[in-house]
């Protein structure tokens, strides 16, 4: 319900060129299938030892040698406690559309489909086919993008997209590079290109306390917004620390940073500067 | 004066300061406490009371109530009359003879206000007199005489208000209205509201708890005429409606009771089509929504009849009011309900009139005797069919058949106890029941036949068997089918032993069934298919009872919070629940098993052949305030309502509530006096629920059904 207007079904495409330190969907960064391990759910039953590659060992703790893992899913099937799960599934466009159709009764005039990720443009042909199929069904379409992608595809995607949810994570290009690996100039030029092609664009601005919580940044976003013909408002998305826990399931460390969580007042301030009025 | 909302959105101010103060005091229990001070009238010293028949004693009680009940005239009130005896709040006729109360009273019906509005009580009296003429010398005479006595008593009480208001400054219009209604047909909007109010108040004064029915439909012609004449403004009409709502809170008195202090079955139904299929939505519909929005008064739970062509403006308005929380608004999909009533045998014009019993069970208002029988179908499965987990079945079909046989035996048991209440068949003659003349006067059929509400008087007589524990039962059957019969992971007897031992030592298996299977409420055709099949078979079994007594037996699905009483007594469940853990509410998923959000829950629910259950199946949906915030949230909520209709739902009660807010209300009840929540067919001021009920509401809120 936070992915565009009305009731929407969100399709997450795996694979993203960025590596944001605050990423709240780390399981969608890699384009490959991945094994998730929820240690707290593990019953030590040994079901996972079916693994043909010997990924799992049960000593004092249940440990994984992820270098051997092919994400075949055999251990996940065998795990009775759902402590092991596979993230990512290959689906045809028609299969996805039939899933989307299930919620069609709720879309009304403005609801519909949001393609998110990862970065949808990382699978440009699939994205195009999916959007075209949704359009054929009469569904409203939205694309949630980080803005870092090969601009050649925009010309094809814009006419198929009713609304872009476009991330402006930071306007300080050095800081942006440091925290996400992204190239600000590229994102901005894609944004301008999309705008010139007639895209409707809603800006999505993560707010990370101590990183990008400067008035200078807010004003820069406001300037960008004002320069867009297709500007359709901006959402300020406060950083949440709990997203850090997800990294653990992929075998990493909890990278949640409670000190990054902004105050509600700051969120309101940023929103006011960009949108020019108070949001409810 | 801040009337609480769940999301910090300030409720709008439209009514005048006096009305707002009136609401504030009424919701602050001022009148409820007053009502509680005088409990009942005493009829012990009525001459000859010991020798009277039950009906004679009833008539004496009603008369004494009319003569002695305290009058209440509130400051600035626009409507007169009040139900001022405390025992009525306990669902009893508030008259004492010797030690106890004299008679229980009647609820679960919406009475016929339309006849009184259009013909006046004088018209009703005429009908009684002509029926008396017809039934002179028969055993129906006593009931019809009682009708006259009750009308006389109503007159006495009414006259006391007229006398009290005589010469009182500021109440001239109240008195002027009372000089006309309820005896003569109402001529103005204000008179019409006064007429409905005073009849409602009189019935409540006598202990009964009727529903209101379709208030916007009833008031529409009066509103339109007065606006056209220039004798009424929209703002004035809103004030009058507000007073109706505010006076309706005269029984709330704070404190902690099991199910809250506002459960008096006084539901309203708004919008929808009329007998001819025309939309009745009118400015009064919106005024009612305005009042709910401004005050959040929860005592008149209001259900909006939606259909595929409902105006977008109304749906948005409903969503707007709904998201302030309190669960005051629920929705019917009348497309499906009218069809189900027609399938059941009601004429189309009759089906289109539907309202409810004061809760959400659908009935034809003012014409229906109604009661429902709640059953715990999970208990039936565990105890009867699976013999407390000592039984063994060879395949799923034989298990399912055995279960249906047990359901059938249960329903046949109900029928035989019902049949004992008849002294003869063809035609069915009811045995004598306790007197209930007051409501009988407002139920079509009773006066004409000379029979009371309880003795077959109403046009339709309905007993509705209700499935409780639906999702828990379906999920149990589904888990058994998958685990034992399809995947054959364990033998039936071994599995029964595990369940007998409450999953002890079988945690891996328990996690397996709870984590790997997709249960009812997640749009999984396999699990939902069992639900659909079962409800269809249940409806057929109910139909098998028809024609074998004076009642019809349309089925329904409900728990009304009974799952709270049931859960400690139910054994472990095949889908992973341990004994004592929470159970499902109404037709909603088992808490914790629905993981895909509200739209999937609605889709699962709508796969059922709900049109075979003309009384209804209630779906509870809990939404977080954050999901309904802003324009997008409003639109999403409106879309959810529209989708519910498109997919063929029956009745849905969404509540916008946040577990964190409810927790702080537990901590600091004094700050949340007005915060109401949807419980089931009714609302409760959250702080007046006892702790167990509060915790149940919070748990249900946390367990999902959200976006």
Phi-psi region of B349 (alpha: psi -120 to 50; beta: other; left: phi over 0): alpha
Q: What is the dihedral of CA B115, B119, B120, B124, to 10 degrees?
A: -70
Tell me the CA end-to-end span of chain B in Å, nearest whole number: 33
Record the tokens describing residue A27, joined without a space.
């399981």
- The full set of domain ranges for chain A reads 8-28+91-275, 34-87
- CA dist., res. B401 & res. B411, Å (int): 15
CB B168 within 8 A of CB B74: no
Cβ atoms of B4 and B675 within 8 Å: the answer is yes
Residue pair A172/A132 in contact by the 8 Å Cβ criterion: no
What distance in Å separates the CA atoms of residue B686 and residue B693, rounded to the nearest whole number? 9
Nearest to B374 by CA among B508, B469, B280, B244: B469
d(CA B604, CA B617) in angstroms, rounded, equals 13
Q: Determine what percent of chain A falls in helix, strand and coil, rounding each to the nearest 5.
A: 40, 20, 40
Contact: A6, B630; criterion CB under 8 Å: no
| Chain B residues near any Cβ of chain A (below 8 Å) | 9, 507-509, 511-512, 515-516, 523, 599, 602-603, 627, 629-630, 632-633, 635-636, 638-640, 642-643, 646-647, 707
Residue B39 CA, distance from chain mean position: 25
Q: Return the number of other C-beta atoms located less than 10 Å from residue A23's C-beta.
A: 18
Spatial distance between the Cα atoms of A52 and A55, rounded to a whole number of angstroms: 8
Given 3-state DSSP classes, what are the helix, strand and coil percentages for chain B, each rounded to the nearest 5? 50, 10, 40
**pLDDT value at residue B704:** 47
For the domain spanning A34-87, the CATH number is 3.30.70.20
- Residue pair B592/B704 in contact by the 8 Å Cβ criterion: yes
Give every CB contact of residue A152 below 8 A, 6+ residues apart in sequence: none
pTM of the model: 0.91
Number of residues assigned to chain A: 280
Quote the CA–CA distance of A153 and A39 in Å, as a whole number: 41
- Residue B10 phi, psi dihedral angles, 5° rounding: -75, 135
What are the helix (H) ranges across B490-524? 492-500, 507-516
d(CA B197, CA B523): 45
User: How far off is chain A from B385, nearest CA to CA, in Å?
Assistant: 28
Whole-angstrom distance, CA of residue B587 vs CA of residue B532: 12
B427 Cβ contact partners less than 8 Å away, ≥ 6 residues apart? none
Count Cα atoms within 13 angstroms, Cβ side, for B402.
Answer: 18
Number of Cβ within 10 Å of residue B339's Cβ equals: 17
Q: Residue B501 gets which letter from DSSP?
A: T
Q: Choosing among A106, A142, A204, A279, which should be mutated to test the B contact, i.e. which has the most B CBs within 10 A?
A: A106
8 Å CB contact between B60 and B52: yes
Helix residue ranges, H only, chain A: 74-78, 93-101, 124-136, 154-157, 173-180, 184-196, 215-227, 244-249, 264-275
Q: Which residues pair with A219 in a beta bridge?
A: none
Peptide bond into A118 cis (omega under 30): yes
In whole angstroms, give the CA distance from residue B188 to residue B704.
Answer: 48
Question: Is B639–A80 a contact, with Cβ atoms under 8 angstroms apart?
Answer: no
CB atoms A105 and B643 under 8 Å = yes
Is B366:B111 a contact under the CB 8 Å cutoff? yes
Answer whether the bond into residue B182 is a cis peptide, omega within 30°.
yes
Backbone angles phi, psi at B148, to 5 degrees: -65, -45
Q: Are B525 and B544 in contact (CB under 8 A)?
A: no
- According to DSSP, the residues that pair with A14 across neighbouring strands are none
Q: Which of B201, B215, B218 is nearest to B157 (CA)?
A: B201
Determine phi and psi for B310, rounding to 5 degrees: -55, 135
What pLDDT was estimated at residue B411? 98
B630 and A279 in contact by Cβ < 8 A? yes
Nearest chain B CA: its distance from A68 CA (Å) = 26
Model confidence over B484-523: pLDDT tens digits? 999 999 999 999 999 999 999 999 999 999 999 999 999 9
Residues sharing a CB contact under 8 Å with residue A173, sequence separation 6 or more, in sequence order: A183, A184, A185
From the list A2, A6, A47, which residue is nearest B635 (CB)? A6
- Alpha-helix residue ranges (DSSP H) falling in A5-82: 74-78
Question: Does the beta-carbon distance from A105 to B629 stay under 8 Å?
Answer: no
Contact B332, B353 (CB under 8 A): no
pLDDT at B298 (0 to 100): 83
* Rounded-to-integer distance, Cα B621 and Cα B637, Å: 11
The answer to whether A111 contacts B635, with C-beta atoms less than 8 Å apart, is yes
Q: For tokens 């079904």, what's the residue?
A: A9
Q: How far is B513 from chain A (nearest CA, A)?
A: 8
Mutant choice from B333, B506, B511, B649 vs A, greatest count of A C-beta within 10 A: B511
- Measured between alpha carbons, how far is B340 from B609 in angstroms, rounded to an integer? 10
What's the gap between Cα B103 and its chain centre? Answer: 22
Please give the class, per CATH, of domain A8-28+91-275. Answer: alpha beta
CA A154 to chain centre: 19
What's the rounded Cα separation, in Å, for the pair A115 and A130?
9
DSSP symbol at B360: S
The token pair at B562 is 């009974």
Q: Which segments of B501-591 does DSSP mark as H helices, in order?
A: 507-516, 525-543, 563-566
Tokens of A19: 């590596």
Residues of chain A with pLDDT under 70: 1-3, 277-280
| B contacts of A82 (beta carbons < 8 Å) | 511, 515-516
Per-residue pLDDT, A280: 38
What tokens were used for B287? 């005024």
d(CA A198, CA A139): 19
Closest residue to A81, CB basis, from B511, B523, B643: B511
**Rounded (10°) CA dihedral B259, B260, B262, B267:** -40
Q: Which residues of chain B have pLDDT under 70?
A: 100-101, 257-259, 262, 673-674, 679-683, 700-707
- Sort residue B346 into left (φ over 0), alpha (ψ -120 to 50) or beta: beta
Residues of chain A numbered 95-134 and touching chain B (CB < 8 Å) = 102-103, 105-108, 110-111
Q: How far is residue B582's CA from residue B566's CA, in Å, rounded to a whole number?
A: 9
Residues linked to residue B213 through DSSP beta bridges, in sequence order = B268
User: Nearest-CA distance from B523 to chain A in Å?
Assistant: 9
> What ipTM did this prediction achieve?
0.86
């Amino acid at each position: 319900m936070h992915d565009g207007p009305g009731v929407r079904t969100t399709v997450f495409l795996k694979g993203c060129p960025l590596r944001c330190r605050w990423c709240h969907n780390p399981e969608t960064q890699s384009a490959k299938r991945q094994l998730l391990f929820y240690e707290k759910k593990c019953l030590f039953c040994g079901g996972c030892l079916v693994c043909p590659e010997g990924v799992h060992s049960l000593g004092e703790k249940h440990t994984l040698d992820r270098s051997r893992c092919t994400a075949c899913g055999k251990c996940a099937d065998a795990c009775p406690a759902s402590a092991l799960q596979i993230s990512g599934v290959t689906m045809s466009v028609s299969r996805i559309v039939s899933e989307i159709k299930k919620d069609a009764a709720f879309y009304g005039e403005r609801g519909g489909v949001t393609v998110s990720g990862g970065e949808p443009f990382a699978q440009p042909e699939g994205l195009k086919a999916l959007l075209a199929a949704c359009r054929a069904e009469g569904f409203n379409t939205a694309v949630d993008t980080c803005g870092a992608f090969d601009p050649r595809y925009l010309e094809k995607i814009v006419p198929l997209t009713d609304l872009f949810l476009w991330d402006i994570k930071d306007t300080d290009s050095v800081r942006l590079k440091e925290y996400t690996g992204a190239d600000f100039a590229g994102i901005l030029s894609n944004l301008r290109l999309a705008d010139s092609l007639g895209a409707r664009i809603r800006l999505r601005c993560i707010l990370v306390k101590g990183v990008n919580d400067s008035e200078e940044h807010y004003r820069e976003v406001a300037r960008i917004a004002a320069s867009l013909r297709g500007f359709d408002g901006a959402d300020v998305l406060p950083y949440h620390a709990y997203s850090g826990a997800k990294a653990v399931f992929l075998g990493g460390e909890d990278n949640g940073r409670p000190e990054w969580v902004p105050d509600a007042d700051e969120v309101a301030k940023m929103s006011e500067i960009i949108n020019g009025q108070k949001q409810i | 004066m801040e009337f609480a909302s769940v999301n910090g959105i300030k409720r709008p101010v439209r009514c005048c300061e006096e009305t707002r103060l009136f609401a504030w005091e009424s919701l602050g229990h001022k009148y409820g406490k007053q009502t509680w001070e005088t409990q009942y009238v005493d009829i012990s010293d009525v001459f000859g009371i010991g020798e009277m028949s039950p009906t004679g004693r009833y008539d004496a009680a009603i008369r004494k109530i009319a003569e002695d009940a305290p009058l209440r005239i509130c400051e600035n009130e626009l409507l007169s009359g009040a139900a001022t005896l405390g025992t009525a709040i306990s669902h009893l006729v508030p008259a004492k003879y010797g030690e106890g109360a004299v008679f229980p009273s009647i609820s679960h019906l919406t009475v016929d206000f339309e006849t009184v509005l259009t013909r006046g009580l004088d018209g009703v009296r005429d009908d009684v007199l002509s029926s008396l003429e017809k039934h002179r010398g028969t055993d129906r005479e006593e009931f019809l005489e009682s009708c006259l006595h009750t009308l006389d008593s109503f007159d006495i009480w009414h006259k006391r208000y007229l006398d009290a208001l005589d010469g009182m400054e500021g109440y001239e219009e109240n008195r002027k209205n009372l000089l006309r209604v309820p005896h003569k047909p109402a001529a103005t909007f204000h008179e019409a509201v006064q007429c409905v109010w005073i009849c409602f108040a009189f019935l409540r004064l006598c202990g009964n708890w009727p529903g209101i029915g379709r208030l916007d439909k009833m008031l529409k012609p009066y509103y339109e005429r007065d606006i056209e004449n220039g004798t009424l403004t929209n703002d004035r009409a809103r004030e009058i409606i507000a007073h109706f709502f505010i006076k309706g809170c005269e029984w709330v008195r704070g404190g902690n009771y099991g199910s809250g202090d506002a459960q008096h079955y006084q539901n309203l139904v708004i919008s929808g089509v009329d007998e001819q299929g025309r939309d009745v939505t009118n400015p009064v519909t919106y005024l009612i929504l305005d009042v709910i929005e401004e005050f959040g008064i929860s005592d008149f739970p209001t259900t909006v009849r939606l259909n595929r062509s409902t105006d977008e403006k109304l749906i948005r308005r409903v969503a707007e009011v709904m998201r302030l929380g309190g669960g005051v608004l629920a929705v019917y999909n009348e497309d499906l309900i009218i069809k189900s009533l027609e399938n059941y045998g009601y004429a189309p014009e009759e089906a289109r009139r539907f309202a409810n019993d004061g809760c959400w069970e659908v009935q034809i208002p003012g014409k229906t005797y109604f009661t429902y029988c709640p059953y715990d179908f999970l208990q039936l499965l565990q105890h009867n069919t699976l013999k407390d987990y000592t039984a063994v079945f060879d395949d799923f079909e034989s298990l399912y058949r055995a279960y249906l046989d047990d359901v059938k035996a249960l329903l046949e048991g109900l029928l035989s106890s019902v049949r004992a209440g008849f002294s003869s068949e063809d035609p069915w003659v009811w045995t004598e029941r306790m007197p209930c003349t007051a409501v009988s006067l407002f139920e079509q059929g009773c006066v004409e036949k000379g029979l009371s509400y309880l003795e077959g008087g109403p046009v339709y007589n309905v007993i509705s068997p209700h499935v409780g524990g639906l999702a828990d039962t379906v999920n149990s059957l589904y888990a058994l089918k998958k685990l034992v019969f399809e995947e054959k992971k364990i033998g039936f007897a071994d599995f029964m032993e595990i369940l007998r031992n409450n999953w002890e030592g079988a945690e891996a298996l328990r996690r397996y069934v709870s984590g790997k299977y997709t249960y009812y409420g997640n749009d999984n055709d396999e699990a939902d298919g069992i639900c659909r099949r079962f409800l269809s078979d249940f409806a057929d079994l109910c139909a098998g009872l028809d024609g074998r007594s004076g009642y019809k037996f349309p089925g329904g699905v409900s728990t009304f919070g009974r799952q709270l009483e049931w859960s400690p007594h139910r054994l472990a469940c095949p889908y992973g629940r341990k004994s004592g853990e929470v159970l499902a509410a109404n037709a909603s998923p088992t808490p914790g098993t629905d993981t895909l959000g509200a739209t999937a829950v609605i889709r699962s629910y709508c796969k059922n052949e709900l049109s075979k259950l003309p009384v209804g199946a209630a779906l509870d949906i809990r939404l977080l305030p954050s999901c309904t915030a802003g324009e997008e949230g409003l639109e999403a909520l409106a879309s959810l309502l529209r989708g519910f209709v498109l997919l063929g739902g029956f009745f849905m009660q969404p509540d916008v509530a946040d577990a964190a807010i409810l927790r702080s209300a537990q901590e600091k009840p004094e700050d949340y006096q007005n915060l109401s929540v949807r419980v089931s067919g009714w609302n409760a001021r959250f702080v007046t629920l006892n702790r167990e009920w509060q915790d149940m509401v919070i748990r249900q809120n946390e367990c999902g059904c959200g976006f």
